[in-house]
Structure 1
């Protein structure tokens, strides 16, 4: 991000973005240029416009230092997240040392499902604030309580610190569900990117440790294999928000010792047995370096008997779940995931209500 771009108040830039998205289509096409088609997919015009405006405005997600990366992600989210979603009560929670934030839609009765959510940011950036509006949106639209967990970040706290905090948060949520107003038998796990990684790892741990199992897994473009470069890393490694260079930078900060990268607590795709994981909705973005590993994970889940819905949003790029304030296609993609979450939780409730036969 340029110094000039840094000096412009985020509210001013956000307003300019909304103005640009409100322009007539012919004017927007002049800004974006010719359509971008890669691997038989066309970048959605709204996605292309946002990337072009970020490029013109110098709004880059920097990776020169962790502090700069965190500041840039925070600013980027302020620009695209939109105004705070109303209709939800928010309060801080401490989970055995892990900070969290509980979102409760107004009027939601006690005994609702609870979604434990882990934010993305490459295990280096992101926090409760960066994903605040997404959690508000998930809570209100899905009609569930959402508990957002703020795990420790690398490089100050490298692998497996984030995993340890994710496990602690889920165990605490399961043990304290009643006092949160939630049904302890209807816990779901979710996350985006690095947070999707932590959600999947936590679900696997819950199965192996015979603890309270989540009934649903909601994953947005998860990172699931730090040991291999797949074709999407080459196809979409530059120019589509998350880059190949950034992925290497994140991995080097989170797991600088390469020998640990095959650990299933990081590369969950490499876990030999994924059977017994909860029904899963996994969304990938077509123009995402992580596309292929996320889809490989969904395919492995299906082969091992896990009910899974894989949805590739061909025209979108990594990070779309946080883009609720501009355009419409990003919000539509999140709405589809919310529909899957509502359905998955309803089916879990129906399974619990079926009486046992002799």
Structure 2
């Protein structure tokens, strides 16, 4: 069995009017930056299934860019469609709940509906909500509700970026990854994992490639050495060593177009028991042959067979609580 933890689906009614008049793909710009590319593969679930079959993927975990929004009605539509897909293709797709994290009672009601009526096992949120970072106490009521329900949180890069990303598609190519790195650090240093010890996070895109930066991030936890010990913002650190929290997080292999070197780099710092397979189909990968190659390269990694199975299947089964 192979579980793909990172497959996108968007209802046709939220895609069709975003395409070019001839139905060809179209990229939407926000504040002068490319934000999202709309195309027909986002809603043609039969193509999702055909791609999975060719690549040998048994289960696809579905999330939606359209659900990473403050619009509760869009979220409800997405959730309803994902549940329809689950019922149409039993045991092949599992949907994630989508709600505005800062939406208050209406969001909590939708979250409960997604859990109690639909049986969704996780909720997808962006790496930053507007200007609210993931360690903001404004999000603590949301985290509390998610923890009470026993759901996991799947963190996807926010679709628009701020900062110096106005040229060369920097926002999508690297801005989103930097935000994931920042969000990972904020979850740890900001005390979210201390405050909500039973809350489980799956961070997409291998945490934005955070493994390459861990050798720099961890030494900056020595606040005495760097002269920030008593600073109200820069001196904050969690109750336990940074690495203990880092090893509690889970990361998916999406976001790097099936580049096996990104996975090899991740494995230098992330335990294989903390990585789940993900493709980011049909956005960054739209070709089933590319997915097939990616899976074969993971199967040929210089790690134990048990660790390969952990990445492709067993870790996902544990998180999703499936046999």
Q: TM-score, normalised to structure 1's length?
A: 0.38
Q: TM-score, normalization: structure 2? A: 0.41
